[in-house]
Amino acid sequence: DVKVTQSSRYLVKRTGEKVFLECVQDMDHENMFWYRQDPGLGLRLIYFSYDVKMKEKGDIPEGYSVSREKKERFSLILESASTNQTSMYLCASSWTVSNQPQHFGDGTRLSIL
Amino acid sequence: GQQVMQIPQYQHVQEGEDFTTYCNSSTTLSNIQWYKQRPGGHPVFLIQLVKSGEVKKQKRLTFQFGEAKKNSSLHITATQTTDVGTYFCAGYGAGSYQLTFGKGTKLSVIP
């Protein structure tokens, strides 16, 4: 069974801090994704990666960056955290870019104070 | 860009009643996927539809993909308390690398 593991279930940080959210998958998937989920807004794609060191912007990349140095690991970075980045962050992975289901981690609930 | 609209946003039903959620895309989709997110959980893949007019069933759940590949529906017959959660549709546009999610329909089942 596919396992997508996010480093933290809950995280509290302060405004202006640099925040790292880590995601690891164990199925050798080529593609990995970062979403944020907010009430009433559904899932919005921040960034995705289709290969090591490759990345593509999603719908809401502003204020975020990503890193994929190894195939199994995809990191989301908040360069300077702000209160409007308080949210649930979900990582997902899949075999190919399209026509394959995405497998999600349990999510990180991030609070920026 | 591509938009996927999903209605209703919320649905409260008595246990045993049927439930339907509808999904409409602003553009033609190459395929559509459905996910379920239980309260406190993460989205879990249910099914994918690829062909125009396709209908698939999973026990009490029936999924349809429209003839024009721009809309889809999920129908649950005789809801149970285990059906509680938020149901999302998500679609890939033709030639697109991005899966666009609807905002979801949150289903509550009153025992």
Q: How many residues does chain A have?
A: 113
Question: What pLDDT, on a 0 to 100 scale, did the predictor assign at position A17?
Answer: 97
Question: What pLDDT, on a 0 to 100 scale, did the predictor assign at position A98?
Answer: 63
B61: β partners: B58, B76
CB contact under 8 A, A42 and B101: yes
CA A46, A90, B36, A96 torsion: positive or negative? positive
CA R_g for chain B: 13
A105: β partners: none
- Look at residues B102, B110, B105 and name the one whose alpha carbon lies nearest to residue B13: B110
Min distance B16 CA to chain A CA atoms (Å): 27
Name the residue in chain A with its Cα closest to that of B32. Answer: A99
Asked if residue A2 has pLDDT above 80, the reply is: no
Question: What pLDDT, on a 0 to 100 scale, did the predictor assign at position A32?
Answer: 94
All residues of chain B having their beta carbon less than 8 Å from the beta carbon of residue A59 are 1, 98
CB contact under 8 A, A43 and B9: no
- pLDDT (tens digit per residue) in B79-109: 999 999 999 999 987 777 788 999 999 999 9
CA B85 to chain centre: 12
